[in-house]
Homo-oligomer: A and B are copies of this chain.
Amino acid sequence: MINAEELQKNPKLYIFLPLYYTLWADSVLTPTEVLEMQKLIDSQKWLQNHEKEWLLKNINPAKPPKSKELKSWKNKIKELKLENLEDLSQIGIALAKKHDSSIQIEKAIIDDFKEAELALGLLSREAGYAFKSGHQTITTAHKKAYNFDIGKMTALLDGNQADLIKKVKAVITDPSFAYKEYDSLLEQREQVLQWCKDLADQGFGAWAFPKYANGKDDMEGYFTIMETLSYHDLSMVIKFGVQFGLWGMSVFFLGTDKHHQKYLKDIGSLKLPGCFAMTETGHGSNVRGLETTATYDHDKKTFIIHTPNPDARKEYIGNAALHGQMATVFAKLIIDGEDYGVNAFVVPLRNVEGEMVHGVKIEDCGRKMGLNGVDNGVIYFDNVEIPKENMLDKFASVNEAGEFESPINSDNRRFFTMLGTLVGGRIGIPRSAVSATKTGLTIAIRHAEKRKQFGPEGGEEVPIMNYRMHQRRLMPPLATSYALHFALRYLTQRFLKRTEEEAQEIEALAAGLKAYATSFTTTTLQECREACGGKGYLSENRIDALKNDTDVYTTFEGDNVVLMQLVAKNRLTEFRQEFGDMNMFTIFNYITNQAKTSITEKNPLIIRSTDQTHLLDMDFHLSAFKYRERAILSSAAQRIKKHIDDGMDSFDAFNVVQHHLVNVGQAYIERVILEEFQKEVMDTNDVECRDALLQLCQLYALHTIEKNRGWYLEQGYMEGVKTKAIRKEVNQLCWEVRKNALALTDAFDIPESCIAAPIARC
């Protein structure tokens, strides 16, 4: 076409070229399109007949231009180097004038062209982009832009633990801590053991122990160590936790001075590797159903530890398959044939040479989905005899007369008091989980900043971080990571300063935050994996390990679904002893009082409000969370009560509302998280940091409300116009937070050698 005689003779015909190119470039010509073009050509009085014929010939669907021809049209137009975008007829005119600057185009012609373009369904302005390059749009121009001081934000996150965090990081960034690929399970486990020894040498293992055991008597520091180590290999963290947290703390909290003096020093130095042997094959969640027995022999002053059946073997016990020399074993204490419930005993497994103690049999759990650096094992006891002093006797003992003695007479209450002392695990694990999530988000967000894919016509490809769906995947989790960081710090403080009266509340809080944080971690690392595409699937980019190692966090220290029910039951009752009990029936006075105070606060002016100031208001957020917390608790209680009043077994009644109960726990935890996050925002003095945190806090709040919008709508607490406005606000917050995203992950201050993923390199 462009070499045709007609064009040479009458350059005015160039006006058709951009339209012709656009029509041919992306499609076969449809009959309608041909018709519209015929109409346009027919109506142009300035065209001579042979020109019309020529033009029509060039829109014959049976004779499309060749690829090469089409390309030459485009190149011809691109030679114009149009700076400002113009529509197709404007481009055509410019082209015509380039060939003959004297050409004049009447307004009527322009109108005809515009009409034709409209009829053809072309968005003329955009069609022109095909002839441009460097075209910028809102999406292409969006980018990183933050104004807070990253160091100040890090200081906010680290708080009074900054020095210890620095100390831990110094160790795990040592070249001896570089990640490795292992040729075998054994090699991996030995490396992890070595790392744990190195950490013990630094004093980290004994950190929470008393000074006489070379400790610092600093439980807060212990949690900080767990959290910071979790930027590194998670097998190491879990092995560390098994040795110093589970094995060490069980001796510390369940034992008495004689045990402390005897064991703690060697536990803290890792001279005495040990296990925490609670879970059995047949009983995981229902610990009270454990079947291992510890039978007292008053003549010999010994206990016989025994596995009465295969279901009673101890399972998944960390440190058992290879390294453990002793274990805290949970077993039912039997005296004179009477069962005194689950108690704890120190039982030797191996001597220092690693030889198995007579009567102990241990099998290797083998490969796991993750945490393969931890040597989990299965332990069987065949009438293993231990001396009487090996009973960890803080809460129960056998007296000189061979009788059971305890300051707590109820087996149940004693059992839960014992377990309550071990609640630290439910603080350490979620803090570890959030560290892993922070690493995952750092990798995924850095990748999303660098990775470009697709772009507007005539423009460059766009960082995938600029796509709204990608922001939706990564920004709310980023906000939640910050929220959980502060919530877990709050939990830790409450735990450290707890009084006896608060114990139940704090146990429920720990159970709930453990469940919430670890489920969040699993979901988020899955998002990170997918958000990094094929790169996320390669082990070198670390999401594999982060995801698979933390996967079991939702199970150990209590299955999350079971835990959320415990939280709900704690909310339903103030009776400590019911904690963990599926049969609860002494709760109804409480419920009746609770029910009275709920369902009050639906303000008819508010439920339809879409005002942005209102939607972003922290008071609105907290009210909505609190309303949900209270209303959902109250309706659960009423449902249970109704079923029981109707004659249903309470066990069945609780089962019927199980799904509801999980939401009760969830709503409570979400309220706590938001409340603490808001306090943190308000307590922040640095204006820029506060603004950044406020935005995250708003995103956490609105994203959570959006997630629960079905419930709010059902309740009539909000109407559709409002939930739609909230969705839009969440999108907008994601768009805004995206500017800070990279800086917010930098503020986590995770050592580069721990991140390690090639796709996360700057």
Contacts and interface: CB of A to CB of B under 8 A. Distances in A.
B469 A139 contact: no
Given A27-B413, A468-B659, A651-B457, A71 B537 contact: no
Contacts of A285: 453-454, 533
A406 B547 CA distance: 48
A454 B582 contact: yes
Nearest to A311: B452
Contact of A649 (B126, B184, B555): B126
A97 to B, nearest CB: 26
Interface in A550-594: 551-552, 554-556, 559-561, 565, 575-578, 582-583, 585-589
Contacts of A658: 467-469
Interface in A383-398: none
A556 B529 CA distance: 13
Interface string A536-548: 1111100110011
A561 B65 CA distance: 36
A279 B534 contact: yes
B412 A26 contact: yes
A216 interface: no
Interface in A71-127: 71, 120-123, 126-127
A610 interface: no
Contacts of A522: 526
Contacts of A25: 410, 412
Nearest to A409: B64
B126 A583 contact: yes
A551 to B, nearest CB: 7
Contacts of A552: 534, 537
B652 A139 contact: yes
A530 B560 contact: yes
Interface centre among A403, A522, A644, A651 (most CB of B within 10 A): A651
Given A468-B659, A589-B121, A713-B713, A555 B537 contact: yes
A83 B283 CA distance: 28
B68 A413 contact: no
A66 interface: yes
A452 B539 CA distance: 37
A503 B192 CA distance: 55
Interface stretch (A229-237, A361-369, A666-674): A361-369
A27 B575 contact: yes
Contacts of A560: 530
A469 B539 contact: no
A281 to B, nearest CB: 9
Given A453-B286, A544-B368, A583-B457, A655 B468 contact: yes
Nearest to A709: B710
A715 interface: yes
A26 B586 contact: yes
Nearest to A369: B544
Interface string A448-491: 00001111110101000011111011000000000000000000
A183 interface: yes
Contacts of A533: 284-285, 555, 559
A455 B582 contact: yes
A253 interface: no
A184 B181 contact: no
B556 A534 contact: yes
A67 B404 contact: yes
A2 interface: no
B714 A367 contact: no
A655 B467 contact: yes
B184 A183 contact: yes
B454 A286 contact: yes
A66 B545 CA distance: 51
A315 interface: yes
Interface in A343-378: 365-370
Interface in A701-720: 709-710, 713-716, 720
Contact of A27 (B184, B286, B410, B454): B410
Nearest to A459: B651
Interface centre among A126, A284, A548, A714 (most CB of B within 10 A): A714
A406 B67 contact: yes
Contacts of A140: 651
Contacts of A466: 655
Contacts of A284: 453, 533-534
B724 A720 contact: no
Contacts of A413: 26-28
Contacts of A340: 67
A656 interface: yes
B366 A656 contact: no
A289 interface: yes
Nearest to A124: B585
B121 A588 contact: yes
Contact of A583 (B181, B456, B578, B582): B456
Contacts of A410: 24-28, 70
A750 to B, nearest CB: 21
A316 interface: yes
A605 interface: no
Contact of A367 (B126, B181, B716): B181
A662 interface: yes
B662 A289 contact: no
A538 B366 contact: yes
A138 interface: yes
A400 interface: no
A282 B559 CA distance: 41
Contacts of A548: 369, 544, 548
Nearest to A574: B30
Q: Which 4 A-B pairs have CB atoms at the shortest separation, nearest pair first?
A: A456-B651, A714-B720, A123-B585, A367-B539
12 contacts: A68-B403, A70-B409, A289-B453, A366-B540, A367-B539, A368-B538, A369-B538, A455-B582, A470-B561, A533-B559, A537-B552, A709-B710
Given A368-B539, A536-B555, A714-B723, 17 more contacts: A26-B413, A126-B650, A137-B649, A137-B651, A286-B461, A289-B454, A316-B534, A366-B540, A367-B540, A370-B537, A456-B582, A467-B655, A467-B658, A473-B561, A534-B552, A534-B556, A709-B710
Interface of A: 24-28, 64-68, 70-71, 120-123, 126-127, 129, 137-140, 181, 183-184, 279, 282-286, 289, 315-316, 338, 340, 365-370, 403-406, 409-413, 452-457, 459, 461, 466-470, 472-473, 522, 526, 529-530, 533-534, 536-540, 543-544, 547-548, 551-552, 554-556, 559-561, 565, 575-578, 582-583, 585-589, 644, 648-652, 655-659, 662, 709-710, 713-716, 720, 723-724, 731
